[in-house]
């Protein structure tokens, strides 16, 4: 289905489920992070872009204070009173859309005084691939409620609302990157975000003009950010910052690494070194894109992967193989993307070699006895918007 069909289908499904027409349909994209991994919650730099895979939210306000959500992911209809919505009563997929209503309440919106709403959600962002299908739901609902409730919140504020929903209603201790990419993305461009000030700049990617494509290799290895490794990495970063007497690792530069090595254990030091060098790599990537174009960023992507594999230790054998096989088949740079422990790798690939990369990566997975990966290309696209 093309995206216009998704929009009309969302409106038709809303009518079908709720027996009346929606007020409108809003959509928000998933994202790929080009570079800057685990730097967001360290108040550092990230460079993600919105992709051409989106989530649609058909929304209609109600006369009472009830919120009802339905989706194409499940038969369930979940219903709550807005005045009563809280993280404690939310679970499953409906925690994403309803968590947004709760998080708006935490931002000073009087939920008891707002009109309730019905929302129907559909998506073509693959779930569990590390492409932020969750942020896409949050951001589609956030812009819809912002418009229908006439809140006029700016997009960095809506990103914070999405992050709060994710952290408290869903329970994943993630940073601000995914929601920012989904809300601020621009066609053919990346969002260069300073996660301390939340100031952002749009950076031209120029992939098409350079004859390049981004190939996604979804390893199908599942990752769950609510538990385990992600939170442990976050704790290591906080311990490293505390050992250095700084508020966050944003305040540590490459020149401070010698001192860092002396005041913490080796594992914490390697976690810190990843963040510090990754921030430098984001800045180097932005500079290279501006001065020379995307053909100049391959080696930086490779270095980022090595740092995540060896220092931050968030890669898995399937992601490492995806990167090595894609490079061997002609990609000019490759790295895992997203939180890690599974999910997807990206390979910046000359257009004429996309088929070669696809078949060689698939062959390498088969030979290693790994589950077949899903391999496809994505295009840097516009952020969240009203569709209908
Ligand atoms: C996940 C989180 C983001 C970010 C990345 C790692 O995608 O949701 O906030 O921390 O991992 O860069």
Please report, for the domain that includes residue 39, its CATH number.
Answer: 3.30.230.10
Ligand 1 atom 1 nearest Cα? 339
Please state the atom number of ligand 1 nearest to the C-alpha of residue 230: 11
The answer, yes or no, to whether residue 15 has pLDDT greater than 50, is yes
pTM of structure: 0.97
The answer, yes or no, to whether residue 44 has pLDDT greater than 70, is yes
Ligand 1 atom 9 nearest Cα? 175
Look up the domain containing 179 and give its range: 3-203+382-386
Given pLDDT bands bounded at 50, 70 and 90, which one contains residue 227? Answer: low
Binding pocket residue ranges, ligand 1, CB within 6 Å: 33, 37-38, 40-41, 174-175, 177-178, 338-339
Same domain, 363 and 225: yes
Probe residue for ligand 1, chosen from 135, 175, 236 as the CB with the greatest number of ligand atoms within 8 Å: 175
Which token pair is 333?
């740079």
Which token pair is 143?
């812009």
pLDDT value at residue 222: 87
Strand partners, 348: 214, 333
Given pLDDT bands bounded at 50, 70 and 90, which one contains residue 174? Answer: very high
Q: What is the 3-state secondary structure (H, E, C) of 106-125?
A: HCCCCHHHCCCEEEEEEECC
Q: Tell how far the Cα of 11 is from the centroid of ligand 1, in angstroms.
A: 31
Return left, alpha or beta for 31; rule: phi > 0 is left, psi -120 to 50 is alpha, else beta. beta
pLDDT value at residue 7: 98
User: Residue 275, Cα to own-chain centre: how many angstroms?
Assistant: 18
Task: Confirm if 57 and 144 have CB atoms less than 8 A apart.
Answer: yes
Please report, for the domain that includes residue 232, its CATH number.
Answer: 3.30.70.890
- Burial zone of 20 (CB within 10 Å; 0-12 exposed, 13-18 middle, 19+ buried): exposed
pLDDT value at residue 224: 66
What's the Cα-to-Cα distance from 5 to each of 1, 16, 23, 77, 257, rounded to whole Å?
6, 16, 18, 23, 52
Same domain, 181 and 250: no
Neighbours of 333 (CB within 10 A): 27
Same domain, 108 and 171: yes
Tokens 């995206």 found at: 3
The answer, yes or no, to whether residue 223 has pLDDT greater than 80, is no
Which token pair is 41?
């919650």
Same domain, 52 and 164: yes
Separation CA 122–CA 134 (nearest Å): 12
Probe residue for ligand 1, chosen from 338, 340, 344, 346 as the CB with the greatest number of ligand atoms within 8 Å: 338
Neighbours of 105 (CB within 10 A): 18
Same domain, 230 and 178: no
- By three-state DSSP, how is residue 25 classified? strand
Q: How large is the greatest C-alpha to C-alpha distance in the chain, in angstroms?
A: 66
Same domain, 104 and 212: no
Q: Tell how far the Cα of 16 is from the centroid of ligand 1, in angstroms.
A: 36
Q: Which of 40, 118, 146, 178 is catalytic?
A: 178
Which token pair is 172?
């994943």
Q: How many residues does the chain have?
A: 388
Q: What would the pLDDT profile of 182-212 be if each residue is shown by its tens digit?
A: 999 999 999 999 999 999 999 999 999 999 9
The answer, yes or no, to whether residue 226 has pLDDT greater than 60, is no
Separation CA 152–CA 143 (nearest Å): 9
Same domain, 190 and 256: no
Q: Tell how far the Cα of 205 is from the centroid of ligand 1, in angstroms.
A: 21
Tokens 């994710």 found at: 166
The secondary structure element, H or E, covering residue 334 is strand 333-336
Please state the atom number of ligand 1 nearest to the C-alpha of residue 38: 12
DSSP structural state of residue 380: B
Please state the atom number of ligand 1 nearest to the C-alpha of residue 40: 10
The answer, yes or no, to whether residue 225 has pLDDT greater than 70, is no
Task: Confirm if 318 and 366 have CB atoms less than 8 A apart.
Answer: no
- Burial zone of 191 (CB within 10 Å; 0-12 exposed, 13-18 middle, 19+ buried): buried
Mean pLDDT throughout 235-254? 98
Same domain, 23 and 163: yes
Same domain, 198 and 267: no
- Identify whether 256 is a catalytic site residue: no
* 39: nearest Cα among 315, 338, 299: 338
Q: Sheet holding 189-194: strands in order across?
A: 45-46, 189-194, 200-204
Same domain, 73 and 210: no
Please state the atom number of ligand 1 nearest to the C-alpha of residue 134: 8
Q: What would the pLDDT profile of 313-353 be if each residue is shown by its tens digit?
A: 999 999 999 999 999 999 999 999 999 999 999 999 999 99
Please state the atom number of ligand 1 nearest to the C-alpha of residue 41: 10
The stretches of the chain forming alpha helices (DSSP H) are 3-18, 95-106, 133-148, 155-164, 177-184, 229-244, 257-263, 266-291, 298-306, 317-328, 354-368
The answer, yes or no, to whether residue 228 has pLDDT greater than 90, is no
Task: Confirm if 381 and 185 have CB atoms less than 8 A apart.
Answer: yes
pLDDT value at residue 140: 98
Structurally, how many domains does the chain consist of? 2
Tokens 């931002």 found at: 107
Given pLDDT bands bounded at 50, 70 and 90, which one contains residue 74? Answer: confident
Q: Tell how far the Cα of 383 is from the centroid of ligand 1, in angstroms.
A: 18
Task: Confirm if 351 and 211 have CB atoms less than 8 A apart.
Answer: yes
Same domain, 151 and 258: no
- Compute the CA torsion angle 229, 230, 232, 233 (nearest 10 deg): 110
Which token pair is 272?
């810190």
Task: Confirm if 102 and 122 have CB atoms less than 8 A apart.
Answer: no
Q: Tell how far the Cα of 142 is from the centroid of ligand 1, in angstroms.
A: 19
Same domain, 152 and 31: yes
Mean per-residue pLDDT over the chain, rounded:
97
Ligand 1 atom 8 nearest Cα? 174
């Amino acid at each position: 289905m093309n995206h216009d069909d998704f929009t009309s289908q969302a409106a038709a499904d809303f009518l079908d489920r709720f027996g009346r027409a929606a007020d409108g349909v809003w959509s928000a994209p998933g994202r790929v992070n080009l570079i800057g991994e685990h730097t967001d919650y360290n108040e550092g730099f990230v460079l993600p872009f919105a992709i051409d895979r989106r989530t649609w939210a058909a929304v209609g306000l109600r006369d009472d204070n009830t919120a009802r959500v339905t989706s194409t992911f499940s038969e369930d209809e979940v219903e709550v009173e807005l005045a009563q919505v809280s993280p404690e009563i939310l679970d499953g997929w409906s925690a994403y859309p309803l968590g947004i209503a709760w998080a708006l309440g935490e931002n000073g919106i009087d939920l008891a005084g707002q009109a309730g709403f019905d929302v129907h959600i559909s998506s073509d962002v693959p779930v569990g691939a590390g492409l932020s299908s969750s942020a896409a739901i949050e951001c589609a609902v956030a812009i819809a409620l912002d418009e229908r409730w006439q809140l006029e919140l700016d997009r960095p504020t809506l990103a914070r609302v999405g992050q709060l929903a994710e952290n408290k209603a869903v329970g994943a201790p993630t940073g601000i990157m995914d929601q920012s990419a989904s809300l601020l993305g621009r066609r053919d461009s990346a969002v260069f975000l300073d996660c301390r000030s939340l100031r952002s700049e749009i950076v031209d990617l120029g992939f098409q003009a350079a004859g390049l494509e981004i190939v996604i290799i979804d390893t199908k290895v599942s990752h769950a950010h609510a538990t385990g490794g992600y939170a442990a990495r976050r704790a290591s970063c906080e311990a490293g910052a505390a050992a250095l007497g700084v508020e966050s690792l944003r305040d540590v530069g490459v020149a401070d690494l010698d001192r860092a090595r002396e005041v913490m254990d080796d594992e914490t030091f390697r976690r810190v070194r990843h963040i510090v060098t990754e921030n430098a790599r984001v800045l180097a990537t932005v500079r290279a894109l501006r001065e020379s174009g995307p053909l100049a960023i391959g080696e930086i992507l490779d270095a980022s992967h090595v740092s995540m594999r060896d220092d931050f230790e968030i890669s898995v054998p399937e992601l490492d193989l995806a990167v090595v096989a894609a490079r061997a088949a002609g990609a000019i740079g490759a790295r895992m993307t997203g939180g890690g422990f599974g999910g997807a790798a990206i390979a910046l690939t000359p257009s004429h070699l996309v088929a070669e990369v696809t078949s060689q990566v698939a062959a390498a997975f088969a030979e290693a006895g790994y589950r077949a990966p899903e391999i496809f290309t994505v295009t840097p696209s516009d952020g969240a918007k009203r569709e209908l």
